[in-house]
Structures are given as C-alpha cells and as structure tokens.
Structure 1
Amino acid sequence: MAFFDSELQNTVRDLGKMLGLTIQQQLGPEWLARIEDVRKTGRRSNEGDASATDHLKTLFAELQDEDLLVLGRAFCQFLNLANIAEQEYNVAQQHSDPLAQLNHALSTLDVDADTLEQALTKLQIDLVLTAHPTEVSRRTLIHKYTELAECLKQIHQSHLTEREREKVEERIAELVAQAWYTDEIRTTRPTPEDEAQWGFSVIEKSLWQAVPDFIRELDHTLQQKFAKGVPLDAVPVRFSSWMGGDRDGNPFVTAKVTERVLLLARRRATDLFFKDVDALQSELSMNVCDDALRAAVGDEAHEPYRAVLRELREQLRQTYRGIVATLSGEEVSRAQWITKDEQLLTPLMLCYRSLHHCGMGKIADGALLDCIRRVHAFGCTLLRLDIRQDSGRHADVFSELTRYLDLGDYANWDEQQKQAFLLQELQSKRPLFPRAWQPSSEVQEVIDTCRVIAANEQTGFGIYIISMASEASDVLAVKLLLKECGVSWSMPVAPLFETLDDLNQAAATTQKLLECEWYKREIDGRQYVMIGYSDSAKDAGALAAGWAQYRSQEALVALAKAHNVTLTLFHGRGGTIGRGGLPAAQAIHSQPPGSLDGGFRVTEQGETIRYKFGMPKLALQSLALYASAILQAVVAPPPAPKQAWRDLLDSMAQQACDNYRAVVRHDKNFVPYFRAATPELELGKLPLGSRPAKRRPEGGVESLRAIPWIFAWAQTRLVLPSWLGVMPAIRQAIEQGQREHIEQMLSDWPFFHSRLSMLDMVFHKADASISAAYDSRLVPEDIRYFGDRLRTELADSMALILDLLGQQEVMEKDPQGKASMQLRAHYLQPLHFLQIELLERVRKYGEQPVSPVLERAMMITIAGIAVGMRNTG
C-alpha cells in the first residue's frame, strides 16, 4: 500500500485494536485470539498461501453457527472501520482539486469570458437520489460512522492538547463499541418513507452546507480568471428524488405514500430554512437600509432587516406547524403556508440588495447569500419528486376504460389507433372518465397517483418517467392521464429506453412525438429522455449496451436540434460498471458531443450517495468534479468518432452481444449454475430496500432486477456482468487485422477509452480463485465446468486488456484505487470462505425454515462483502 502513508495504515490498525478490545470485553481473550488468527490467516490466504486457505476452510467447517456469526460480525465491522478511515483520509488529503484543474484546463483551451458565460448557462446539474436498495448499512450505523469520521478528523489535528486528544480517543472507542453492540442488519425492510427520510438526512447533514460552499468556490475560481462569477439566480446544481415516487415494480409506493413523502420533504425544508432565517435575523442588526426595504417594513422599524426576517421566520413557523398537523391527520388550510420559492426569495433578496446598496456587500455575501443559494438549489420542497411507473400500468387504465365505454380494448389497438384516440381526447374539452366508472384497484392506484400530482404544487415535482417505454403512445397516455386527473400545468414526461431494442428505436419513437403539433406545443421547447443503463447491460452485455446508449444519445441530440427543442438526457446509471457506473469525469467526457447542452441529469444510487455526498467536504469535491467536467465538455466537446471506428464498434458490439447472450440466455446450464454459484436466492432475504428483488416473483433470471443481478456476482468476485463477452469480441477484431484502429480508438476516443480503462478496475476487483472456491463447494459437479469456462475467459480478457493498455498488472496507472482495494482485501478473504461455509449449511435446510442464527450470519457476510467491495448494485 505504498500509495497510502503510514497515517492511514495506523488509523486502520488503531480502530481494529479498539474493536478487538470491545470484543474481548464481551466474549473474552480467547475470542480475540481466534479473530486475530483468522485475520492473519486471511492475509496469507489473500497472498496465495494455499495452506492458509485450507486452514480457514477447516476452521469454519468445525465451528458452530453461533461462532460463525461472531466472526462474520467482526470482519464486517473491520471493513466498515477501514472504509471510514480511508474516507476521512481522502477528504483530508484532497489529492486533486477539480476547480483548480478546471482553471488550468480553461487556460490551456484559451477560453474567453463570453464563451465561459455561455457555458455557465448550460451548467445545470440535476442529481436524482434514488430509492434503489443498494445501501446495506442501517441508518443508525451510518450516523455512528459519520460521527466516527468527524472524530478521526479531530484526532488528526496537530493543535489538540493531550487531554483533548484523550477525550476524542475515548469518543472513538465509544462509537466503535456502539457499532459492535448494534445489529448490522435491519430486522425489517425499510419502507419507502424510511428511504425518503434517509435521503433528506443526506441533504441536511451534508449537502445543505456543501452546496453554497461549492458555488462560492466555483464563483471564486471564475472571478479570479474572468472577473465574472456565478450569477446570483443561477442554479448550477439541484436535487430530485425517486424515494417515494418510484412505483415501478414496487407495490409499497402508493399514492398515499407519495402524498406523505411530499409533506415530509416540505417539513424538512421548512425546518432547515427556519434555522437559517432565525440565525440571519439574529445577525442582521443593521439599521441602515435602502428605500425598497424601508417601504416594506415601514418607518417605525428601527432594525429593518430583522423586521422583514422575523416576518419570514413566522411564516416558516406557521408552515411547519401546518405540515405537522396535516401529517397527523388534521384538516388544515394551506392558505398561509409558504408554497413557492418566491415567498422565500423575495424578502431575502430585499435584504441582499439593500445591504449592497448601502455599502455592506461583505455582509450580504456571507450567510445571507448562502441562504439565497439554498433556495435556488433546494427550494421550499427540499427536492423535486419524480414519479416513475411502468408503461403497461398506464395502458391498463385505458384498456379498462375503453372496454367500459364499449370502444373495444385499447390493449389490442395498433399504435396508430392508440395515438389517434389519445390525441383526440387530449384536445377535447369534455371529461373522459365517467363518474360511474369503478376501475380495478390497480388502475385506481394509477389514477390516484395522478390526482396527488394535481393536488400539490408544481414545485414539489420533477418529471414523470415511463419505464419500458417503446412507443409514442406511452408518453401521450401519461399526458392524457395527467389532464384527466386535473393537473393544470405541463408536467415533463420522459420515456425511459432501457432494453437494447428500445435504445436503438429511441430516436424514431421520439421523432413521432416531436412531429405531433399538439405535443410540440405542450412541451414548450424542452424534451426529457431517460437512458437506461442497468437493464440494457443486463439484456445485451456491457459493450453492446454502452454503444447502443451512445448511438441513441447521438441520434436524440440531432433530432432535438432539427426540431429546435432543448433535450435533457437523464442518465439512469448505477454505482457499478455493470450498471453504467463510471467516475463522474469519465462518464461526462465519454458522452456524445452536444449531449450536455440541455443540462446533466443523473441518478445517484444507494451506497454511492454516501460515498460521494455523505460528508460536506466529500460532497463539495463531488459537486466540483461534476461542474468542472461539464464546463470543460461544453467548452471543448469530445470528438465525434470516425466512421471507421463506428463501423468497427458496430461489429464488435454485435459480436460481444452474441457472446454474452450465448451464455446468459441460450445455455440451458447457465441459470442452474448462477443459482448454485452465487447467493442470488439468499439475497432476497436481506432487507435492503422497500422494493422486491424481482419484478415478477415467479420469474427467473430474466425477471431479476439489475441490482441483485450485479450484487450476486460481486459477492463471488466473478463480477461477470461487467466483462462477459467484451474482450473476446475485441480479440476477434484484432485477429481480423483491426489492432491499429483499436489502438487509435483507445488513444483518441474518450468513449472507447473509458470502456476499456474501467475494465481494468473491474478486473482488479475480480478474483478467480475466490470464484473457484464457491464453485468447488456449492456447484453440482456436472455443471462445474461452466465456472471453469468463465474463469478462462476472465483470464484471457485480463491478459488482453493489459496488452492493449500497455500495463504489467491491473490498475497500474491508478495506484490510489489499487491501494484502496488492497486496504480491505485481507479482511474480505475470510468473509468469502465464511460465506461459502454458511451457504452450504443454509442450503441443507432445503425448503425448511433456516435457523435464525444461521440466516443472520449469512446476511452479515453478504453485507460485509458488499462493504468491502465498496458497491452492491
């Protein structure tokens, strides 16, 4: 771990010692000695000592279920502590400053102030916190870990006195003990409301401070270089959420849940702004003001700023009380509530302009400016709630309705008939839904959701996303539903193209919409389209999906330009490579030219939210990274690929897709192998999130969600979805004489380079020996060959990627990333062999109920490996 200095290694060791002492106090010295033996043996096993591996297997086979549970808990906690130490270390070190890099890049590109000003208008980052259940840590433990990180920050400050240091060390030991004595696994699945509250907490504890800090730093950087900063009313970053709005395949997200989550978000925003305004009215005691402020407060107000802020504070107080009463079931008038951002901005801007007018700009540009920036970023609703639903659920509404009206069955109509019906009703002034109609409960739920949208302010919502969209009628159906349910404003509706076929047809489908005059008027010049990364990769493999995503974006950008429409692409990326995850800068620079002109909207999912935004300084750096990458990409767009490159990638992507599907879809032994070799079936028992693991409980792998699909392969270290089929297709192209073109693409095309460089990281996380260990114990002998074949492809793929990248070993050019994985590798090794032992024991129960101790131990190893791998899905 040469990249990391001794400070981090010492911190990890010290935290481990504290955990060891806690375990010793509870269980005795013999247990501490056993855990130490396993840790040291795990290190030797990870370094390739076969006798150490055999020792782990023998030891675990001899221990009782209760003993395996203790070991699992110990190593899960070791990994959590190592992660916290590394996270705090990285924040403190700040190896790179994205805004400094932006400054350098703008200088290199010789960008002038006018060009920058135009680029700033396109800096619209919309980060969508999603309800995907990939956060394995409980909220109560996350709180302890956050406190622990703060203590580590304090302990590393040199100015502490000896007693101050002792007090912090005592607090660290207390928090480590608290974590040990707390259940790692939730006893029940979180509700959608729980998930939403977790998202709100990330905003309150981190982003609330990080956002104004980020804009201040960006403004300072640009002021220094161009004497032009970020405009006061600019919104370079804002936040949306799927938590409580994403009902695709989640029966627990109902209209009532959505209504409640909207209120909970508004309550949290009101509370946060109340604290801000309360602090401001305490500080702004000046008595000199301009005429506009004086006219607002009257001649009697000796302290005019306090007078206007007290009134705003009282409005916030009344709003908060009203929301609390409504949540309690009381009938409350919303007439006095703050429901629009302007109600916050007007008094704040009155104070801001007055302070500047009266020569007190230094005061105006302090906490008051931060509060104004927060209003623009978060608004009175904290974030904007997206609604997502499957296209089939909307079609069901009209199918039932047309049958009730004796018009036939909408489900059996062709696309032309559907569009004609929908457009006729969209332009009709009479209601479509009969009063006497009593739809089924499933259809009623869809209608109720749209009525919740109608009953709430526009500011509380983002966009309406249609999963599995494939036709223009899918979008028009939602528009008609919203109209019939009384939504008086034009809610943006985004089709989500997520299978390979739908991505390939995305532009054609969108063109049908934009050629419709009514629709063109309705959208007022802006179209949202969501690109699905997870399901397309699961459908066609990583390379074919990535190329389809790129081409669909290219075509959509050209289509929007032809129709003079602003296109906002919404990227449904997951945290892992198999679900479209890439480092922010690479993801942005690998997009097609022009794809950022309408802003950048992206999902932030599960554990990546905590890793990117869980601490204010982390969040500041993540936001700066996004802004820097986007501004550079707008000012100097990535090059469009040469035709020869496109032709070659067409061929390689098709071959990679064929390779992938030949294994996943067409080999009859794949599903039995997958189910035996991975803990996929056991994952369903882990109460990660509110959404079921499968869209259809009775379905097979094809119905499995992308998250558990990725999660299962990560547990066994085969990480198969990220690489399967890719390198054999590239090898075939090389054998056909295309190596020179491939090397040019790797050197000069950011999209292609990002694909291959990320495989370098994937291969570092992969471990064929661990995968083989799972197979040897868990996979029936007659299909064990399957894993051997996959590991052969893995080895060949690793050799080829090293050859193309000119490296001797994986992650040679990313020493920090390599050291990061190595920091946890020795703790991960025992957990894998522990999980193998537990899986074998669990499966012996067959259809019988599993021992609670054994089941808990199983779940803890799943959570621990996810923590050690730093991702789940």
Structure 2
Amino acid sequence: MIDQGIERRSAAVTEMPDELRQDVRLLGKLLGQVIAEQGGEDLLADVERLRKAVIAARRGEVTGDEITAMVAEWEIDRAVQIARAFTCYFHLANLAEEHYRIRILRERDAEGRVERESLAQAVQELGDERVTELVKGLELHPVLTAHPTEARRRAVVTAIQRVSGQLTEYNAAGRGASERAESRRRMLEEIDLLWRTAQLRSTKLDPLDEVRTAMAAFDETLFRMVPQVYRSLDAALGEGTGTRPPLARPFIRYGSWIGGDRDGNPNVTAKVTRETVQIQSDHVLTALETACTRIARTLTPAEQFAPPSPELRTALAAAVDAHPEVVSVMATRSPSEPHRQWLLFVAARIAATLRRDLDLAYRAPAELLADLRLVQDSLAEHAARQAYGELQHLIWQVETFGFHLAELEVRQHSEVHAAALAEIRAGGELSERTEEVLATIRVIAWIQERFGVTACSRYVVSFTRSAADIAAVYELAEHALGRRAPVLDVVPLFESGQDLANSPAVLSGMLELPQMRERLAATGRRMEIMLGYSDSAKELGPAAATLRLYEAQEQLTAWAVEHDVKLRMFHGRGGALGRGGGPANRAVLAQAPGSVAGRFKVTEQGEVIFARYGHIAIARRHLEQVTNAVLMASSPSIGSRTAAAADRFRPLAEKVATASEQAYRSLTEDPGFPEWFALVSPLEEIGSLRLGSRPARRGLGAPRSLDDLRAIPWVFAWAQTRVNLPGWYGLGSGLASVASLDELKAAYAEWPLFNALLDNAEMSLAKTDRSIAERYLALGGRDDFARQVLEEYDRTRTLVLQVTGHTRLLENRKVLSRAVQLRDPYVDALSHLQLRALTAMRTGTPSDRERERLSTLLLLSVNGVAAGLQNTG
C-alpha cells in the first residue's frame, strides 16, 4: 500500500522501528481504502503510480522528466485529488511519528532511569548546592506568536486529533479483538472525514481567530502540563515531593503577541487587544474553576481525621456571615468536611470572577492564592499528602497563569511612533493611525487596571535605532493619558547587523531616560531587550547572522555587568532554520557565556506551537529539555568552557562570517534577484493560503528588494522550492575561507555555537533536493543565478560533511534522518505536482478558469509540502 515502498528504501539506511512501521502501515492502508471508496480504484492507482515513480527516481531508475510527463497527462482536477492524497498521507505520517515519540517517552519514564536533558539530569550533574542557587532565579518565558507559518486549517488539525485519539485506543494494552475492531472502524471514519475536509482556508483569518486557535493549546495542554514540569523539578531537588512544602518555585511565565503585535498588521487594533485579554481571562478562569471544583469534590477528609486549623474555621464562619446562601449549600452537602466546604466556596468565587459578580469575585490572583494556602496550611498538619498533591498543582497554576493566562505584549514599528509624534507636535488633526497608537496605550492602561500590571506592560519597538525610539513611546503615553499613563517596560528590538552592533550604545542612551531609570529602580535594575533572528538572517545570511548575534550577546552581557543591570535577552526565533530555528535546548546551550544567567525568553511561532504543545507528553519533554539547557548554560563550569572555545575560535569565526556574508550578499543584492525569486517560487501565491491575519509583505506589488519582503514568506517560499536557501546559503563559502580543515573540525567539536550552526545547516541541507530544486530555479530565466545557488549548495554540502566527519547528511541523528527519509519521496510527488502548476502559471497563458484550477493545485501542493517538511516558516 501507500507505505510499503518507503519502508524498503528506509531499511537500507535507517531501520524504522516495528511500532512505527505498524502505525504507518495501518494509517496508510486506511487512507488507501478511503481514497478508493471516494475517488475510485483508478484514483488510488494513479496515486500509486506517482508514489512508485518518485521512489524509483530516488534509486536512479526513473528520470525527473519521466515524472514530469506522467504528471502532465492528468487533468488538473485529477492532479488536485492526487495532491490531496499525499497531503493527507503527511498528516497521518506526522501523527504516527508523534505517537511513536510519546510511546518512547513513556517507556523511558517507566524504566525509572534519569532521562538525558531532563531536570533530574541537570540536578544530578550540577549538584544540589549549585542547582538550589540557580533555581531561585530561574525564569523561562515562552512567548506565543501568530506569525503565519501554520498552513493547516484548525478543522484539519482537529480532524487529525480525532484520528490520534482512535489510534491511541487501538494500540492500548489489554484491548480485546472486538474493541480493536471498533477502534479501527472509528479510525476509518475519522480518516474519511479528514479526506472530505477542505485543506485550504476559504476566508482569511482575523486576529481573534488566531487568539482562539492559541487558546486550544492552553486548554488541551499547557494548563495541565506546567505543574507536571514543576513536580519533576521538585522531585529532582529532594525526596518526599507531595508530602512537604515544594522546593521548586514556579518559573514558567507564558507571554503572547497574538492580538498585541501590530507591527505591519493593521488588523490588530486597540479593540482587538482588549478583546484578546478578555478571551484569555475567560479561558484561564474557566480552567481554574474546573480544577478547583474537581479537587474540592475529592477532598473528603472528615473533620475527626483532619481537623481544620483555627484560621480556616474563622474564615468559614466569616464566609457564612458574608455569603450564607452560597456556603449553606456546601455545609449541607458536606457537613463534617470543612476543607471540602472551603474549596467549594473558593470554586464558587472563581466562577463569580468569571461572570464578574463583584460581591463574590476575587479582585486579584493574590486573594485566590491566599485562600488556597489557607486550606493547604490547614491540611499540612494532619493530611500532608492532600496539602501538597493536587492542591499544590492548582496553586502552581494560579501562580503561573494568574487571571490573565499569558502576558500580552504589544509590538509596533519605531517609524509609526515617529510619525505619530510628528503629527501630535504639529498640532493639527490626527490621522487614524496616530489615533490608533494612542488608543493602544489607553487599552494597556485598562488591562492593567482590570488584571494588573503583569497582564500587559511590555511594549516592543521594532527597528530600534536609538534611545529616542524608546523615549517616543513614553512621550506618546503622556499624550494619551498624562499622569494616568500605564506602567510601560519598553523593549528595544535589534534586528539588522548594524543595529545589533550599535545595541550597547542604544542601551546606554536608554539609561539617561527618566522613565527608564524609574523602571530600573522599581524592578531591581531589570531590563529586557529583544534580538531579531529572522530579519538579521534575511539580511546577512544564516552563518553571518548567527555569529553576529553571538557577538552582540557578548557585548550586551559585558555592558550589563558594567552598568549593574540584570539584562534578559528575548530571542525572536522562528520555527525554520532560516529564522533562528532548530532544537531549542541546543540553541540555549549555544548562547554567549553569561547571557543566559538563569533567564531565557523566546518566541514560539506558527507550526512550532502545535509541534511542541500539541500533546502533553511532548510539551513536557520540550520544556524539561529547555529548562535543563538553561540551568546547564548558567553554570560557571560550562560557561568557562564555552568562553574558552569562543576565544580560541574567534578569528576563525570572523573569517567564516565575513566570507559567508559576502557570498550571500553577492546573490541577494544582485539587481534582478528579488524578481527572479518571485518567479522561481510560489511567493506570490503563498498570500492566498490565508495563513494569518498579517500581510505577507510590506507595501504592494512584487518585491523590489528583500526589505519589501517579510522573513516568513522568504523562508516559506524557499522551502517549497526544495532549495531551503535561507538555512545554509553562504556557509560553504565561509568554511572555504578557512585554510585548516582541522581547525574547523576542532571548532565543531569544542564550541557549542559552531556545532549548532553546522548541525542546523546539515538539517536544512538534508531537506534540500538538488534535482528538484534545479527545476524550480530554471523557471526564472536566469542561468547565472541558478548556477550560483547550485554551486554554493554543492560547496556547502561537501564542506559540512568534511567538517562534521559524516559520510552522509544526518548520519548521527537517527530519528531526524528517519523522519526525512520517510517523507522525502512523498514531498517529491507534491513538488512535481506543484511544478506543473507553477510552470503553467509562469510560462504559459492559461485562461482565467484554468488559472483558477492551477492555483488550487498549487496551493494544495504548498499545503502538503508544508506538512511534509514541517518546519517551513
């Protein structure tokens, strides 16, 4: 069936585990049955023809021209159906791999051993005394963003989740034959529904759609997972977790740009930001009420076995006096269970907070925490397990999420602020855009009044060039509200190479601002700055950007020490390698020594949100790995080793950075390159996928330079061409500039930054297909550009393998190698379908009706390739 050919091919390089093979085979067989039922046996036969052809092509038995001819034979509508088939296959293959990952995590956990890159491993390696000190200041701050890289519709995601649920039931231990048969039938029903669900969005998302989509991750994963991470750390720090006060303090704080990021997105307004916080609050209060009610109903220790403390008795009596109608019902139901009565009363107060019943509602999370600790302290003396078990989880959840769920951050471009101030100073009538800037500040003030300062105080300024860009926000706040201006922590965002180099000087200028001095005094001299990975990589190329960002971190760390500032660096990393992506834990370990210091803040973007937070076991593992890396990177011994390696290999790194940037700029700044890029890729058409609420480019029309193009469609479009240029271009020239291969090998072995740079490039190269890439590059009619790209690819691939010592790409990364091998032929099939549509649209003169059908084929193939490659943007 649809999976058997790939199994045979994969076995030669990386053996697929039996459990994964069985799931892939089952899902592929069920999909084949659905295709035959809905489209006929002839459709399934055509799918099989293409599948076998692309596998044969990878063995050198079929040429690309033969596949092109085959694809050209089909009517466009048939090609669309075939593209749907391969797209659905990718969704199911991804699902099978996710289930395998979860199974492996659980098996390792059942063995009871200390997992690599876990919290227990960090505690074991660093030692109790050092870990205790680090944990006191530990901060992990993931920030969810709406950057549009998730190509799947929410309806498709939920359909996949339903298939996932049935696969879990099917594989559950101890299932009888009839139970498995029923799960198989239900799985077939859900795959049938997945096949019938439209893969493409018919309407453009608005910002509140994006907010509600993110809420699914909170509802299904984050709320339950966060206390599990704290419990893991608490267990690692000392014996007796669940029977004593916790040794682990809550260190995770989620943030969000969804509904707050208005840089280049006119659809995010003050009204949207206000509604976003209300949606977030509704979700977290609902979750807290549900959890509190669940715990209360099970908290049944009788008074004779767990006497309430005098403080709890007094509080219950006061509650009866203040709210007799509420408490009397609980007392009647549980007459001798005071702890249960109190917790049910607390749940009723959370519900009142949700519906805004001011007589009963909590005014702030601190009031709720006080009530929860009252019952915890009462239980601690006679029923410690009840005090520090599930009740402790609820306390951790309140401490982590408050009543606002995630801190909403506002972002706007510095030029918008400058234009608004110019209008205000001129004294004339204000434009709609300037009024919106002032309205945004008023909404921040409203959020702080309603939910507290921690709910929304950070204001990120894109393209910060000087301290004046920061001062502008404070001045606008005074214009908006005068003395009633909200508390603002204005965060500079440094993105270009020049801005990164100038960043310490900008921070010195910020220290002269009275508002900044006031905030430093109020926060214990804490300051936050943001580093932009996407635009720096688009400007400088991946290798030079990585090294320039590292240098900036070194300089900023030294500046912070000199000025006695506790600096937190906010890393604006994307999901794709061309935007700072890659394994998050390795990214942490590759930071400049002293720059982490127990604090790490990073964006979680697009499809990465669902990849990392789609299932509680995977989410927990992800956060444990990142926290492990933060602890390890903050230890003096590791910092010393990293600093020594950086000092030794700095001249080498400078050569690599300079030569790689020159090679990158010689291509991307050549006249005609932006137009050529638009021809060889589906750049223009990606906007029709309606991935998000933000426009894909700055300004209208075809891009005249890379500055006109946002980093996400730049990376996304290159991934579709199978070139993946933003992840590796220029690195080969950079490596070639170093005369000593032995020195490059030593840098790879000893310096985490250089190791991560090459390994990430290797991953991107592995997802590149040279023969298919040639076909895309030929569409632009510029043989010189195509030749330049392919020569740099060959150079980079050769040198990366020489430096790493690998005989093939991803040789030392078994799981990732298997994933790429599993998908490659099927991505090839979609690429050939996409090439048919793109070629006709670029070089032919199709009618309006034919262009519409070709566009459908193109967009379906884009969607499918995104599912196959996964980290596309």
Give your verdict on TM over 0.5.
yes
- Using the size of structure 2 for normalisation, the TM-score is 0.90
- Summarize the Cα distance change of 1:103–1:675 in structure 2 as closer, same or farther, 3 Å threshold: closer
Match of 1:373 in 2: 396
SS at match of 2:409: strand
Match of 2:770 in 1: 768
Contact 2:153 2:199 in 1 (8 A): yes
> Structure 2 residue aligned with 1:245, among 237, 260, 264?
260
SS at match of 1:216: helix
* 1:791-806 matches, cutoff 5 A: 791-806=790-805
Work out the CA distance in 2 between the residues paired with 1:229 and 1:503.
Answer: 47
1:730 aligned onto 2:735: yes
Contact 1:568 1:598 in 2 (8 A): no
- Using the size of structure 1 for normalisation, the TM-score is 0.90
**One-letter amino acid matched to 1:687:** R
Contact 1:388 1:466 in 2 (8 A): yes
Match of 2:699 in 1: 696
Identity of aligned residues (%): 32
1:447 aligned onto 2:438: yes
- Summarize the Cα distance change of 1:270–1:847 in structure 2 as closer, same or farther, 3 Å threshold: farther
Work out the CA distance in 2 between the residues paired with 1:29 and 1:747.
Answer: 54
> Structure 2 residue aligned with 1:78, among 66, 76, 89?
89
In the TM superposition, residue 4 of structure 1 has moved relative to its aligned partner by 2.6
Greater Cα shift, 312-321 or 834-843: 312-321
Match of 1:591 in 2: 591
Contact 1:569 1:598 in 2 (8 A): no
Gaps of 5+ in 1: 323-332, 405-436
Work out the CA distance in 2 between the residues paired with 1:683 and 1:587.
Answer: 29
- Summarize the Cα distance change of 1:343–1:847 in structure 2 as closer, same or farther, 3 Å threshold: farther
Work out the CA distance in 2 between the residues paired with 1:814 and 1:256.
Answer: 47
> Structure 1 residue aligned with 2:650, among 636, 646, 649?
646
Contact 2:444 2:457 in 1 (8 A): no
Contact 2:237 2:247 in 1 (8 A): no
1:747 aligned onto 2:758: no
In the TM superposition, residue 321 of structure 1 has moved relative to its aligned partner by 2.7
- Summarize the Cα distance change of 1:335–1:254 in structure 2 as closer, same or farther, 3 Å threshold: farther
- Summarize the Cα distance change of 1:644–1:223 in structure 2 as closer, same or farther, 3 Å threshold: closer
1:202 aligned onto 2:217: yes
Match of 1:473 in 2: 468
Contact 1:220 1:229 in 2 (8 A): no
Match of 1:14 in 2: 26
Work out the CA distance in 2 between the residues paired with 1:598 and 1:229.
Answer: 25
SS at match of 2:638: coil
**One-letter amino acid matched to 1:399:** A
Residue by residue, what CA displacement relative to the aligned partner does 1:45-85 show, whole Å, maximum 9, x if unpaired? 2333334x333211221211211110111111011110111
**One-letter amino acid matched to 1:746:** Y
Work out the CA distance in 2 between the residues paired with 1:9 and 1:236.
Answer: 39
> Structure 2 residue aligned with 1:25, among 37, 49, 54?
37
Contact 2:120 2:232 in 1 (8 A): no
Work out the CA distance in 2 between the residues paired with 1:596 and 1:230.
Answer: 28
Work out the CA distance in 2 between the residues paired with 1:870 and 1:284.
Answer: 44
* 1:348-497 matches, cutoff 5 A: 348-357=372-381, 359-404=382-427, 438-457=429-448, 458-461=453-456, 463-486=458-481, 489-497=486-494
1:185 aligned onto 2:200: yes
Greater Cα shift, 586-595 or 669-678: 669-678
SS at match of 1:505: helix
Greater Cα shift, 458-467 or 392-401: 458-467
Residue by residue, what CA displacement relative to the aligned partner does 1:13-38 show, whole Å, maximum 9, x if unpaired? 22112112112112221111121222
Work out the CA distance in 2 between the residues paired with 1:227 and 1:205.
Answer: 24
* 1:228-243 matches, cutoff 5 A: 231=246, 234-243=249-258
Work out the CA distance in 2 between the residues paired with 1:851 and 1:740.
Answer: 54
**One-letter amino acid matched to 2:834:** Q
Match of 1:128 in 2: 143
Work out the CA distance in 2 between the residues paired with 1:271 and 1:104.
Answer: 33
> Structure 2 residue aligned with 1:514, among 485, 489, 511?
511
Match of 1:160 in 2: 175
By relative contact order (CA 8 Å, sep 6+), the higher-ranking structure is 1
Residue by residue, what CA displacement relative to the aligned partner does 1:637-674 show, whole Å, maximum 9, x if unpaired? 33214545223322321221111111101x22422321
**One-letter amino acid matched to 1:461:** C
**One-letter amino acid matched to 1:685:** S
Work out the CA distance in 2 between the residues paired with 1:625 and 1:268.
Answer: 27
In the TM superposition, residue 543 of structure 1 has moved relative to its aligned partner by 1.5
In the TM superposition, residue 467 of structure 1 has moved relative to its aligned partner by 0.5
- Summarize the Cα distance change of 1:6–1:106 in structure 2 as closer, same or farther, 3 Å threshold: closer
1:684 aligned onto 2:692: no
Contact 2:119 2:625 in 1 (8 A): no
1:658 aligned onto 2:662: yes
Work out the CA distance in 2 between the residues paired with 1:349 and 1:614.
Answer: 32
Work out the CA distance in 2 between the residues paired with 1:860 and 1:756.
Answer: 32
Work out the CA distance in 1 between the residues paired with 2:108 and 2:718.
Answer: 32
Contact 2:90 2:823 in 1 (8 A): yes
Match of 1:424 in 2: none
Residue by residue, what CA displacement relative to the aligned partner does 1:180-218 show, whole Å, maximum 9, x if unpaired? 000011101111101111111101101111111121122
Work out the CA distance in 2 between the residues paired with 1:575 and 1:370.
Answer: 31
Match of 1:822 in 2: 821
In the TM superposition, residue 852 of structure 1 has moved relative to its aligned partner by 3.6
Contact 1:389 1:466 in 2 (8 A): yes
Contact 1:731 1:800 in 2 (8 A): yes
Contact 2:117 2:629 in 1 (8 A): no
- Summarize the Cα distance change of 1:284–1:542 in structure 2 as closer, same or farther, 3 Å threshold: same
Match of 1:55 in 2: 66
> Structure 1 residue aligned with 2:520, among 511, 519, 523?
523
In the TM superposition, residue 811 of structure 1 has moved relative to its aligned partner by 0.7
Work out the CA distance in 1 between the residues paired with 2:536 and 2:422.
Answer: 28
SS at match of 2:816: helix
Contact 1:240 1:462 in 2 (8 A): no
Match of 1:416 in 2: none
Contact 2:149 2:607 in 1 (8 A): yes
Contact 1:99 1:218 in 2 (8 A): no
In the TM superposition, residue 479 of structure 1 has moved relative to its aligned partner by 2.2
Work out the CA distance in 1 between the residues paired with 2:241 and 2:691.
Answer: 48
**One-letter amino acid matched to 2:430:** P
Match of 2:54 in 1: 42
Work out the CA distance in 2 between the residues paired with 1:107 and 1:346.
Answer: 31
> Structure 1 residue aligned with 2:100, among 81, 86, 89?
89
In the TM superposition, residue 833 of structure 1 has moved relative to its aligned partner by 0.4
1:714 aligned onto 2:719: yes
1:214 aligned onto 2:229: yes
Contact 1:219 1:230 in 2 (8 A): no
Match of 1:296 in 2: 315
SS at match of 1:129: strand
**One-letter amino acid matched to 1:451:** R
Contact 2:243 2:384 in 1 (8 A): no
- Summarize the Cα distance change of 1:467–1:123 in structure 2 as closer, same or farther, 3 Å threshold: same
Contact 1:274 1:316 in 2 (8 A): yes
- Summarize the Cα distance change of 1:339–1:165 in structure 2 as closer, same or farther, 3 Å threshold: farther
Work out the CA distance in 2 between the residues paired with 1:78 and 1:808.
Answer: 30
